[in-house]
Amino acid sequence: MDTQLQQLLTAILQFFTAPLFHIGDTAVSLSLTLGVLIALFVIVFLVSIFKNFLRSQLLVKLGMDEGNRAAIATIVSYSAGTVGFIIVLQSIGLNLASLALVAGGLGVGIGFGLQDLTKNFVSGLTLLLERKIKVGDFVEFEGLSGHVKEISIRSTLVRTLDGSDVIVPNSFLVENRLVNWSYDNYAGRIRIPVRVEFDTDPLLVTEILARVAHSEPDVVHAYPPEVLFRGFGDSSLQFELWVWIKRIDLEAQIKSSLYFRINRELCLNRIKVPFVQTEMWLKNPEELMAYGSKVEDVLKMRGLEAQSLETHNLEAQGFESQPGSPLYLRDMLRQIAYFQNFSDLELRQLIEVGYRRSIKAGEILFREDEPGDDFYIILSGSLDVKLLKLDKQLATLKKGDFVGELALMLDIPRTATVEALEDTTLFAVNRNGLTRLLQSYPNLAESIAREICKRQEELALTQKQLRKLGLADAPEDGKNLLLWVRQRLIGLFGL
């Protein structure tokens, strides 16, 4: 019995160790083949763990972004896997020179069958090394848009905005045109078409659209919005609002928010969005004459119903019917001495760089030591300028006065606290908008300089703060204040 078992084991051993073919001087048996396959499986498993460790732990601690982590982890792990596989082949005695000879002989025949795989492999290396597309990027191609989830050697995985995963061959991404919205950053410009009735004031539409753009938190306020009058349509005046948004991959959500805001403002200002009207011609109008009075009564009734329905819709959206027309930003700006002689086109440019802001009595506009991000012109109401640290009032500002210009123009924290003494309406402009405004209207810079010089004490505090920051020399204090302010405006805004 023992002899038979020994013969069986010997036969099995011979079956696994019997040479199947030779690669150079190396005899390839079934046991050798199984060993190589097991070693390959172990290497792939270890490489996968090593890749995840690099991407999720080690490179994260080094402060690398997601795209760089994915590229480095993929290249390093594949390189380590290749080296490991070569070491395994050499350890089992396989002559790599003879293997290369066999691969060269089969390469021509196999190349034709695997040319697509080879092309995708090379394209994958190109994507990983050039890094024009990285994991986390928001891309768009052939009507498909989404975030790059993974870049492997053969293909790239793209997660669409609908949540589906699309596998794209790497060669397609290399050879075809592709838009990478997040190559530098996620900011991008979107366009919002708006149509209004023919009798609508274009300047009023410009004000409304610019105000809506400034009120949307996802809009990049560093770039002033643009309102374009696109022309005359079949039944409407056609406008387009151009704004830069912080996240282009959230375009649909931001557009929706802007449309809601625009619709609300148009309703509030009784501006209607027109629709294509169809005229109907009656072949026998005389037959309706007998019913003329009835038709007239019906039309009157429908007119009253339509008016009642419109009022109900406005009240449902939170609008109250008020006597008289609302006071528009255009009219308020024209009450300021600096803008009285502005034409409609100049007012349109002015409205685009700023927006209207209202604050209640007792509300703080800004506090001491806060960053100076905005410049304000008082359109109505009054403000109290004071130093809370010293419990001292500096000035009371009224319609036509400027406030907040020192911190914004000189790039320093706020030097005073400003509080509304009554309900106040302001025209607000940020740094880029102010630069554009001053470069377009140099005379406004002179007016601002003169207004600044009226507030002697606040200006002295500003000079002191500038000296602490190393932005002003002590000899500058002895200069004429108007000349000093004027020179700083010219230097900072390139006037």
Q: Give the list of residues 6+ apart from residue 220 with CB closer than 8 angstroms, or none.
A: 187, 243, 244, 245, 246
**In angstroms, rounded to a whole number, what is the distance separating the alpha carbons of residues 401 and 110?**
81
Amino acid 311: pLDDT: 44
- Model pLDDT for residues 149-163, shown as the tens digit of each residue: 888 877 888 988 888
3-state secondary structure at position 257: helix
The H-or-E segment that residue 309 falls in is helix 292-316
Strand runs (DSSP E) across 334-423, as ranges?
A: 354-359, 364-366, 374-380, 383-387, 392-397, 402-403, 417-420
**In angstroms, rounded to a whole number, what is the distance separating the alpha carbons of residues 74 and 150?**
10
**In angstroms, rounded to a whole number, what is the distance separating the alpha carbons of residues 28 and 19?**
5
- 326 and 208 in contact (C-beta within 8 Å)? no
Burial of 137 (0-12, 13-18, 19+ CB in 10 A): buried
- 402 and 446 in contact (C-beta within 8 Å)? no
Amino acid 363: pLDDT: 94
- Model pLDDT for residues 212-221, shown as the tens digit of each residue: 998 888 898 8
Q: Are strands 354-359 and 144-151 parallel, antiparallel or unpaired?
A: unpaired
Burial of 119 (0-12, 13-18, 19+ CB in 10 A): middle
- Model pLDDT for residues 389-434, shown as the tens digit of each residue: 778 888 898 888 888 877 776 667 887 899 999 999 998 888 788 7
Is 90 exceeded by the pLDDT of residue 364? yes
Q: How many residues are recorded in the chain?
A: 495
Q: Give the list of residues 6+ apart from residue 373 with CB closer than 8 angstroms, or none.
A: 408, 430, 431
Nearest to 213 by CA among 395, 27, 354: 354
Q: Where are the domains of the chain?
A: 2-113, 132-180, 188-268, 353-493
- Amino acid (one-letter) located at 462: T
**In angstroms, rounded to a whole number, what is the distance separating the alpha carbons of residues 383 and 418?**
6
Is 50 exceeded by the pLDDT of residue 182? yes
Q: Give the list of residues 6+ apart from residue 51 with CB closer than 8 angstroms, or none.
A: 73, 74, 76, 77
Q: What is the DSSP string of 189-225?
A: EEEEEEEE-TTS-HHHHHHHHHHHHHH-TTB-TTS--
Q: What is the mean pLDDT of residues 330-340?
A: 77
Is 90 exceeded by the pLDDT of residue 241? yes
- 264 and 317 in contact (C-beta within 8 Å)? yes
- 392 and 465 in contact (C-beta within 8 Å)? no
CATH 2.30.30.60 fits 132-180, yes or no: yes
- Model pLDDT for residues 5-44, shown as the tens digit of each residue: 666 666 666 666 666 665 555 666 666 677 777 777 777 7
Amino acid 411: pLDDT: 67
- 183 and 137 in contact (C-beta within 8 Å)? yes
Is 90 exceeded by the pLDDT of residue 172? no
Sheet containing strand 424-430, edge to edge, reads 354-359, 424-430, 374-380, 402-403
Q: What is the mean pLDDT of residues 305-326?
A: 45
Query: CATH fold of 188-268, please?
Result: Alpha-Beta Plaits (3.30.70)
Amino acid 373: pLDDT: 79
Q: Are strands 402-403 and 138-141 parallel, antiparallel or unpaired?
A: unpaired
- Model pLDDT for residues 348-357, shown as the tens digit of each residue: 778 888 888 8
Is 50 exceeded by the pLDDT of residue 478? no
Amino acid 36: pLDDT: 72
Tell me 421's DSSP state.
Answer: S
Amino acid 422: pLDDT: 94
As a 3-state breakdown, the chain gives helix, strand, coil percent values, each rounded to 5, of 55, 20, 25
* 298 vs 215: which has the higher pLDDT: 215
Query: CATH fold of 353-493, please?
Result: Jelly Rolls (2.60.120)
> Tokens standing for 205?
């539409």
| Of 37-51, 263-277, 460-474, minimum mean pLDDT range | 460-474
- Model pLDDT for residues 90-147, shown as the tens digit of each residue: 676 666 555 555 555 445 554 555 566 667 777 777 777 777 788 888 888 888 888 8
Q: What is the mean pLDDT of residues 55-81?
A: 70
